[in-house]
Every structure is written in structure tokens, then in C-alpha cells.
Amino acid sequence: MFNRVIVSAVPIIVVLVLGSVLWQYDGMSNSDNSCVLTAENPEGPYYVAGAPQKEKIGEFLDGQRLIISGNILDDNCDPIPDAIVDIWQTDSNGEYYFKDFSLRGKVHANESGFYTVDTIFPGKYADGGQFRPAHLHLKVSSPEGPPLTTQLYFAGDEHHDWLVKPSLILELNEMDGIKYAEFDFIITP
């Protein structure tokens, strides 16, 4: 009987130990697990290449201002100087603009890898009868490197869908009618 208990317990112990190790691992990272690469997310059908460099996105459009800032780092947690954030989004009514670059632009990080995106809060839109959550599309890259394509979402949105990854959800703060969030991008340089 003692042998049966041991034989039955061994697979359970292996599963528990292996599960514990895998549960702690949440993506690709450097050897000391300090910087995990930002999750990718689909580009979507509305990307238009050639967006100009801007300080504000949607500057002359109605909508609540949204400011997102943070650092762009490599997988060793080193800043990427002059990294580029290529952003596109909807207006506050959920409409994409195609005739101009009102809601498209490139923001450059400084020499320390710090960036600020100053835009308007994006609206939701129906896709196949279901609403997509409010989100921003981004391609983030070093000046020479390949872009990381992803989307950022917002906490508390009731329309989160299967594309929303927990690591891409921003917590918002509000002050003087402006929404603020912080997000660090970890990319391959």
C-alpha cells in the first residue's frame, strides 16, 4: 500500500512543481528576468505608413486629452535613445481618419529612452456587431531595429475582447480633465 501512495504522489508532485515554475514565467525575458518583452498585438487593417513626427496627436480634434509616458528599454533594461513610437487611433467617436494624419504620428523618445504621447482618448467602434474596446495602435522601435507592433487598452473597459492581454492594459489617473497613464515598452533593439 505504501508503494501505491508513493507511485500516486510522484506525478502530483511533478505537476505541482512544474506548474509553479511555469506559472511564474510570463514571457520572453533576459537571463535575470528583470525586463520582459512587451506583448505583441495585431496591427489591424488601418495602418498607414509615413506618419509625420508630432508632439500632439489629434491636436485640433474634440476629445478628452490623454497623456501616456514612460521609457523604451531593451531586454536588458537599458534605455533605447531616440526610439520611435508610431501611433494611430480613432477619434473620440470611434472613427479612423484616412485623409490626413490627424490621428497618426511618430513620437521620438529622448536620449534616455523617455517618451510622451499626447493625444485624445480613443472612442470605441463596432466590428462585426461587437464593440472593440478603446485602444491605441503602436509600432515601437529603435532607430535601426524592427518594430514591435502592439495595442494599448484601458482598465475597466467592459468591451475587452480576445485581443486584450493583461500586460497591455493601462491604469488611468485623471487630473484637471486630462487622463494620464504610464507604460514602459520593452523591445528588441
Q: What is the CATH number of the domain that holds 165?
A: 2.60.130.10
Q: Is there a domain that residue 13 lies in? A: no
For residues 37 and 186, the answer to whether their CB atoms sit within 8 Å is: yes
Q: Is there a domain that residue 19 lies in? A: no
Query: What's the alpha-carbon Rg for the chain, to the nearest Å?
Result: 20
> pTM of the prediction?
0.81
Number of structural domains in the chain: 1
Direct distance between the N- and C-terminal alpha carbons of the chain, in angstroms, rounded to an integer: 58
Q: Say if residue 168's pLDDT is above 50.
A: yes
pLDDT at residue 98 in the model = 84
Mean pLDDT for 124-131 is: 90
Answer positive or negative: Cα dihedral of 136, 73, 22, 42. Answer: positive
For residues 185 and 140, the answer to whether their CB atoms sit within 8 Å is: yes
Containing structural domain, residue 31: 27-186
List of residues 6+ apart from 98 with CB closer than 8 A: 46, 48
Residue 161 cell numbers, joined: 475582447
Q: Is there a domain that residue 76 lies in? A: yes
pLDDT, tens only, 48-68: 999 999 999 999 999 999 999
The span from the CA of 89 to the CA of 66, in Å, is 12
Residue 141 cell numbers, joined: 522601435
